[in-house]
Structure 1
């Protein structure tokens, strides 16, 4: 492959000019004197050109890694020269390495297969492998078979299906917020492609905001803003077309319903006609489920989430929480006790103390095919704070409680007794978390704390690919992005097991040590013409869930970095060898993030990243594939031999230590929220204008939000190190 790439003219030999171009393609810059020396050493016939065999020698020479060569030499220290010269002897040495260092028991057949795959078909010559043992060892370690995450977990296969047989609420489910939007929450376009992109990224819960449209056809858009509108039938048709292309596991359609009853009937008719009633999971009259079905049992099924009619009017649900949300993290101010509220059927409903109990009407036709009902969030949260789960509203296994992002971030719900109450609730029913309305720029919150207490549907803005979304994608990379990941054992404790844990949550604390050894095929930053050759360095950090067995802990990100290697993206070797140490109080939800950056003049540009849960990591010398800033793998497939990545050494040691517990009232996120939310007040007032919202008013709203964002950034700058440039991919 590389020979054909280098020998562009096909004359079966390489000139110095062709070698220079090949090195440029490798993202490698070598001083002229060093290259001259390397060329002369491999040019056996001294004709100033390289044939295929001479080219192989040059490539192997360029691939040298002093650290790994030292390690591979140490494997044969205890063997005789005669033993080391036989293939069986080398296999035995590698078996010992994988057992003692990598903590894997591999038989000779499996190990031979791994080496064959790593070296390609040329490994059929076992003598060649013995002659290039150091090169073989490097190839074996810098290969997806040696990935930091067990490779079988990265694919959706029959073996992974064994983990998909538990009830639906025992899984984290990849979820999107306002899926239809392509940009911000005020003026961006609503597009059908946004649904396609989310589904192709493995999303298994898409949101559809439904409003009355012309000619009896409901529309989808962010109500009372200048976002464009989509026809509801077009959205459903697009969802049907792409629903099961990337995953055959159930797809949840989260309906935020603001329509009148006649248009809700039209929605029900569209859903049945387009999706097919046989493909929609719903409960027939009198049918009761004591336990939710598993994802496998619901393969290729659509689950409609929304308001349902219960047996009595008092139990009729309302599922318009996101449009009614408060910007204040506490309670509604007194002067807002009387305000105009938009009636779901259109028009204005005077909302005063006298009609607080008035509920919107729900179409029976739509209710009949709705499987996931709603639960009143205020009552659920109160039962957690009071520590009385018996006082919580009755919830069916398929019911879902929707909560704003800041509810579970409050420290008082992360204290051990209340955190346990939340976890027990999330075992029985579904919980959905959604962004605050103040995130008009479609920014995202960090999902880890919400997974930490067991929330299944942590909805993010998929159009904003920044750190929170990368963390989300990292979790759901497991299973080939099928969209379902089983909760860790500590989030599935029975009441009896939870009681036995006493004052502990049963979390697994570990000490994680990360040594970044070398890079592999690191490319130039995407769309950056100014950077000719990469100067890479690596940042390592852990993003914490905020939980420990003793209560909420310090979530400050500890960012550590390697030295910079100049002019080498092909095989840079980092010299800092003592390793980066992190104390992870919740290894099942804490996330390791490795970011590759390149220095360029006075700034730094991010190239790619790797992210994974600490509990998913394997010990020893491991390869981590890099993902571009857009969340996609930097290679066509994981088994591509030129897949960009890093070689790292990981050590994971169980410990009784815990991160420092913090006051529940002094978290940085709380400081930022208290400063920013008042500045966002203007947005709520403008949006309450409703149908009379004009472009001018929207501009005022955007200006108010810009001021708030500047305030937020100023405060964050005071509590966090400055950010560096990142280039999207």
Structure 2
């Protein structure tokens, strides 16, 4: 037999797909919660209480679940089922279905939405109008629409005079990005703002306009948004309103205008120096989180030797020099639209971090300067963000629209961790995972840890190592669906894939770690039955991250899917875990069957 003939035979034999079979533990569970091979609604109710942790489920609710499960089974005629309940195959299919997903509340908002905006993490985008990289991709309203459809609540627009100096364009200044007109972006924002969420959309403006164009921009904003625009006159807010009170509203946030100065040369110098640089985003899995403390210290050693005075300047939002003698040129109608005023972050950090009891503001820092402030003023950051808004954005060298570790901002109370939503990589998966919480509405209530003060008026210290609160036990049973969503030759030309799962925690440094299952050879429907434990000191900020890869002995392992789930949203018990592609889009068929259990730590007195 020739080598080619052998390969063809091997190919045909290896790709014969076996039917998914329930693991032994699932078979045992079915035996416990069934009678004569049938699980009735009463059996299902007991299973939901005893195994799935749904202690308050009623018999009526269990009957509704059973009806939905029977309909699901009925759609697959090759499965035998009984009109009074589920057989083993039907129960197994139910466990793998969207009726039994891992994230809680079935996409309903369940956080308290009546606190000030400063009490929430907010889904925030950076340079939202860019279709790709930061240097020469198109500017368009299309990525703005996509961001809003994904639940993003903070849109950034950079306003510049057009080539004729008679209209307003949106573009990344000092680059080769072709512009899009402001009016087109505003209309698209209005049309799509509340498709994914009814909670407010904040537009952060980077303003490079002359006073007459500021007035023109104000006219466009007013005409497009009309009554849904939230304004508060010329006065600063003494406290931010709540997301609940701002449902269906558009909010403008920028610095109050002072003067117009061309800053193109500065922008060109900054961006031009970065053209040859490339950010290596795909480092060792989990390293960007688990080595958080070391990275912060490494940054400190490299860049902070000459910054012991604590000075920190926001070079994105503070690109204009200020001249108090040109105040009379301000367009008053433009200033009137600014509901959330952006403050300065120039000078000593201790000054701009001071909490004003009379008014609130928003301050912006780039990711490197956040680390600087976090290292030296961690508790002050937490205190500042209890009342004020902090926005963090990517450093200038991320010309490829990559992103950074969002946990550094979140663990210090940063509400607006601005990301290149059009980007790629693991940090973006964390961002997408965080905002799957609270029904995907784009607002996630910060944990009480970051909001409270003690009797001595002290706030949480992010550097302090806390005791373990709970341990998350995770068991990975099996996975299926790749044969439906991938070509048969996607992973290997002549044999089925060898899948393994990486699973870990992204959170505070003490909680962040990664583990891995064994690889299952030559199987489109792998069964692992591997169990892991993750002790958690701050479970409120922890994200469970899961990646599936296909082992390749000679090359880089192929990507087989990923997901990221807030630990606070996990439903206990045996659950179906939907898997997403590299862009964060859910695969139609690929799922993992996993089990989640929390073991509380008993404190000995």
Report if TM-score (shorter chain) is over 0.5. Answer: yes
Residue number among 190, 204, 218 corresponding to 1:268 in the alignment: 218
* 1:152-180 CA-partner distances (Å, limit 9, x unpaired): 3x24xxxx266322222211111110111
8 Å Cα contact 1:281/1:371 also seen in 2: yes
**1:647-686 superposed matches below 5 A:** 647-655=593-601
| Corresponding residue of 2:419 | 460
More deviation, 118-127/478-487: 118-127
Q: What residue in structure 2 maps to residue 337 of structure 1?
A: none
1:472 to 419, 422, 431: 431
Cα distance in 1, alignment partners of residues 112 and 270 from structure 2 = 36
Asked whether the equivalents of residues 395 and 429 of structure 1 are also in contact (C-alpha less than 8 Å), the reply is no
Moved more, 247-256 or 373-382: 373-382
Residue 185, structure 1, aligned to residue 113, structure 2: no
480-489 vs 468-477, which moves further: 480-489
Residue of structure 2 aligned with 1:583, choices 494, 513, 535: 535
Partner of 2:365: 403
Alignment of 1:24-173 (within 5 A): 29-30=15-16, 62-75=20-33, 84-85=35-36, 91-105=41-55, 106-120=57-71, 128=82, 133-152=87-106, 154-155=107-108, 160=109, 163-173=112-122
Once residues 125 and 44 of structure 2 are traced to their aligned partners in structure 1, the CA distance between those partners, rounded to angstroms, is 45
Shift of 1:584: 2.6
Alignment partner, residue 574 of structure 2: 621
Matched position secondary structure for 2:541:
coil
Residue 631 (str. 1) matches residue 584 (str. 2): yes
Deviates most, 163-172 or 61-70 = 61-70
TM-score, scaled to structure 1: 0.66
Q: Distance in 2 between matches of 1:432 and 1:200?
A: 22
> Could you tell me which of 150, 156, 167 is aligned with 1:217?
167
Alpha-carbon distance, 1:64 to partner: 3.5
2:551 pairs with 1:599:
yes
Task: After superposition, give the CA deviation of every residue in 1:348-382 in whole Å (9 maximum; x if it has no partner).
Answer: x9x8xxx8988987532211111010122246832
**2:512 matched to 1:564?**
no
1:208–1:253 contact (8 Å) kept in structure 2: yes
Q: Matched residues in 2 for 1:440 and 1:127: separation?
A: 56
Q: Distance in 2 between matches of 1:342 and 1:243?
A: 25
For residue 91 of structure 1, report the CA deviation from its aligned partner. Answer: 4.8
Counterpart of 2:448? 489
Separation in 1, partners of 2:574, 2:127: 41
Counterpart among 255, 259, 262 of residue 307 in structure 1: 255
Q: Give the Cα–Cα distance (whole angstroms) in 1 for the partners of residues 316 and 240 of structure 2.
A: 34
**Contact in 2 for aligned 1:490/1:507 (Cα 8 Å):** no
Deviates more, 1:582-591 or 1:193-202: 582-591
Equivalent residues of 1:115, 1:136 under 8 A apart: no
Partner of 1:8: none
User: Relative to structure 1, is the Cα distance of residues 331 and 273 closer, same or farther in structure 2, using a 3 angstrom cutoff?
Assistant: farther
CA separation in 2, counterparts of 1:225 and 1:285?
Answer: 34
SS of structure 2 residue aligned to 1:136: helix
Q: Secondary structure at the match of 2:342?
A: coil
Aligned with 1:545 (options 508, 512, 526):
508
Matched, 1:429 2:385: no
Q: 1:263 to 1:649 in 2, by over 3 A?
A: same
Distance 1:598 1:86, change over 3 A: closer
Residue 514 of structure 1 corresponds to which residue in structure 2?
Answer: 474
Q: Which residue of 2 aligns with 1:6?
A: none
> Structure 1 residues 142-151 or 465-474, which shifts more?
142-151
TM-score by length of 2: 0.78
Q: 1-side partners of 2:115 and 2:337: how far apart?
A: 23
- Give the drift of 1:257: 0.7
Return the offset for 1:308: 1.8
**How many aligned positions are there?**
543
Q: Secondary structure at the match of 2:112?
A: helix
- Cα displacement string for residues 441-484 of structure 1 (whole angstroms, at most 9, x for unaligned residues): 21100112211111111100011121111111111123443211
Distance 1:359 1:488, change over 3 A: farther
> How far, CA to CA, are the matches of 1:501 and 1:431 in structure 2?
17
| Distance in 1, Cα, partners of 2:140 & 2:401 | 15
> Does 2:181 correspond to 1:231?
yes
- Distance verdict in 2 for CA 1:209–1:132, change over 3 Å: closer
> SS of 2:369's equivalent?
coil
Tell me how far apart the structure 2 counterparts of residues 528 and 209 of structure 1 sit (CA, whole Å).
45
Report what 1:701 is aligned to: none
Deviation track 1:541-568 (CA, whole Å, cap 9, x = no partner) reads: 212233xxxxxx485xx33222233444
Change in 2 beyond 3 A, CA 1:513/1:332: same
Native 8 Å contact 2:161 2:167 kept in 1: yes
Once the two structures are superposed, residues 624-655 of structure 1 have per-residue CA deviations (whole angstroms, 9 ceiling, x without a partner) of 111222112223xxxxxxx4211112222234
For residues 73 and 151 of structure 2, the distance between their equivalents in structure 1, rounded to whole angstroms, comes to: 37
The answer to whether the 8 A contact 1:498-1:505 is kept is: no
Extract unaligned runs of 5+ from structure 1.
1-23, 36-60, 77-83, 334-340, 547-552, 636-642, 658-729
Q: Structure 1's 461 and 593: CA in aligned 2 closer, same or farther, altered over 3 A?
A: same
State the partner residue of 2:498. Answer: 535
* Deviation for aligned residue 1:610: 1.6
Choose which of 588, 591, 596 in structure 2 pairs with 1:645.
591
* Number of the residue aligned with 2:192: 242
3-state SS, counterpart of residue 407 of structure 1: helix
How many Å separate the matches in 2 of 1:228 and 1:435?
21
SS of residue in 1 equivalent to 2:564: strand
Aligned equivalents of 2:143 and 2:542: distance in 1? Answer: 29
Question: Which structure features the higher share of helix residues?
Answer: 1
Could you say which structure has the larger radius of gyration?
1
2:255 & 2:459 partners in 1: Cα distance?
38
More strand as a share of residues: 2
Distance in 2 between residues matched to 1:299 and 1:523, nearest whole Å: 43
> For residues 98 and 528 of structure 1, do their structure 2 counterparts lie closer, same or farther at Cα, with a shift above 3 Å needed?
closer
Q: Paired residue for 1:81?
A: none
Relative to structure 1, is the Cα distance of residues 126 and 414 closer, same or farther in structure 2, using a 3 angstrom cutoff? farther
Cα 1:342–1:104, aligned 2, differ >3 Å: closer, same or farther? Answer: closer
Give distance in 2, aligned partners of 1:131 and 1:238: 49
Alignment RMSD: 4.1
